[in-house]
C-alpha cells in the first residue's frame, strides 16, 4: 500500500506542476511548484479528493494573483520565475496541515477595499476603516473577486469561498500570513481521517 501511495503522490505532483505551468503560460508568467510531504503523509482517498479541490484553487490564485510578471519580479530583485510551495505535514497533535505559499505580490488589501466599494458591500469610509482581518473575511465571501476582467482562471468569484467551505466541512481552520511584494501563505489545519 505504501508503494502505491507514493506512486499516487508522484502522479498528483506531476498533475499539479503541469497545472501551474499551464496557468502561468496563459498569463505570461513564469512559475514553478515545489511539493513536499505528500508521499510521507498518507491520507484517505476521500480526504485527498477534498484536498485536491483546495490545492487547485490555491495554486490558481497563487499564479493569477500572487506571482508577478517576470519584468516586475526583476524590478523587485527577485528571479523571473515565481515559486509556489505546497506542503503537507502531520502536526504533533495528529492533525494534518496543508500549507500553500508563494513568493509573489502578497495580498492587495487596497484592491479588496476598492472592489468591496464597487460591489456596494461597504461605503468608501467603511472600506477605509476595515482592518486586514475584516478584508480577509470579505475575500472568502461568495462571488468576491478583485480581478477586473473575467478569464478562464479568475474573476468569477468562486474559489476562496470553496476553500473555506471545504476546510470547514473537514473540521479544520485556515490561517493567512502575507507581506506586500513578498509572500502569501495559507495554512490549513484539519483532522486526519
The predicted-structure confidence for 53-68, as pLDDT tens digits, reads as follows 899 999 999 999 899 9
Residue 75 has pLDDT above 60, yes or no: yes
- Predicted confidence at residue 91, as pLDDT, reads 94
More confident: 193 or 51: 51
Please check the confidence at residue 45 and state whether its pLDDT lies above 90: no
pLDDT tens per residue, range 95-152: 999 999 999 999 999 989 998 899 888 999 999 999 999 999 888 887 777 665 555 5
pLDDT at position 89, please?
A: 94
Predicted confidence at residue 147, as pLDDT, reads 61
Q: Would you report the helix, strand and coil content of the chain in percent, each value rounded to 5? A: 45, 20, 35
Q: What is the mean pLDDT of residues 38-58?
A: 86
User: Is the model's pLDDT at 52 over the cut of 70?
Assistant: yes
pTM over 0.85: yes
Span 37-45, mean pLDDT? 81
pLDDT given for residue 38 in this prediction: 85
Burial of 153 (0-12, 13-18, 19+ CB in 10 A): middle
List, in order, residues 6 or more apart from 163 with CB less than 8 Å away. 54, 57, 58, 140, 174, 186, 188
Tell the burial category of 28 from Cβ atoms under 10 Å away from its Cβ (0-12, 13-18, 19+).
exposed
Cell numbers representing residue 185 in the block: 501563505
Instruction: Provide the pLDDT for residue 174.
Output: 95
Number of other residues whose CB lies within 10 A of the CB of residue 63 = 28
Phi-psi group of 132: left, alpha or beta (phi > 0 → left; psi -120 to 50 → alpha; rest → beta):
alpha
Distance, CA of 90 to CA of 95 (rounded, Å): 6
What span, in angstroms and rounded, lies between the C-alpha atoms of 169 and 79? 38
pLDDT at position 156 over 70 = no
Amino acid at each position: 500500500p505504501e508503494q502505491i501511495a507514493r506512486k499516487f503522490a508522484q502522479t498528483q505532483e506531476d498533475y499539479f506542476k503541469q497545472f501551474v505551468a499551464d496557468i502561468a503560460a496563459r498569463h505570461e508568467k513564469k512559475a514553478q511548484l515545489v511539493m513536499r510531504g505528500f508521499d510521507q503523509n498518507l491520507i484517505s482517498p476521500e480526504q485527498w479528493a477534498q484536498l485536491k479541490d483546495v490545492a487547485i484553487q490555491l495554486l490558481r490564485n497563487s499564479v493569477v494573483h500572487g506571482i508577478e510578471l517576470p519584468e516586475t519580479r526583476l524590478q523587485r530583485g527577485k528571479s523571473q520565475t515565481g515559486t509556489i510551495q505546497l506542503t503537507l505535514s502531520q502536526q504533533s497533535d495528529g492533525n494534518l496541515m496543508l500549507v500553500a505559499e508563494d513568493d509573489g505580490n502578497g495580498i492587495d488589501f487596497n484592491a479588496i477595499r476598492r472592489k468591496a466599494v464597487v460591489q456596494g458591500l461597504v461605503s468608501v469610509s467603511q472600506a477605509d476603516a476595515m482592518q486586514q482581518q475584516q478584508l480577509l473575511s470579505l475575500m472568502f465571501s461568495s462571488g468576491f473577486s478583485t480581478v477586473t476582467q473575467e478569464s478562464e482562471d479568475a474573476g468569477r468569484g468562486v474559489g476562496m469561498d470553496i476553500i473555506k467551505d471545504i476546510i470547514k466541512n473537514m473540521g479544520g481552520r485556515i490561517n493567512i500570513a502575507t507581506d506586500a511584494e513578498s509572500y502569501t501563505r495559507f495554512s490549513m489545519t484539519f483532522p486526519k481521517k
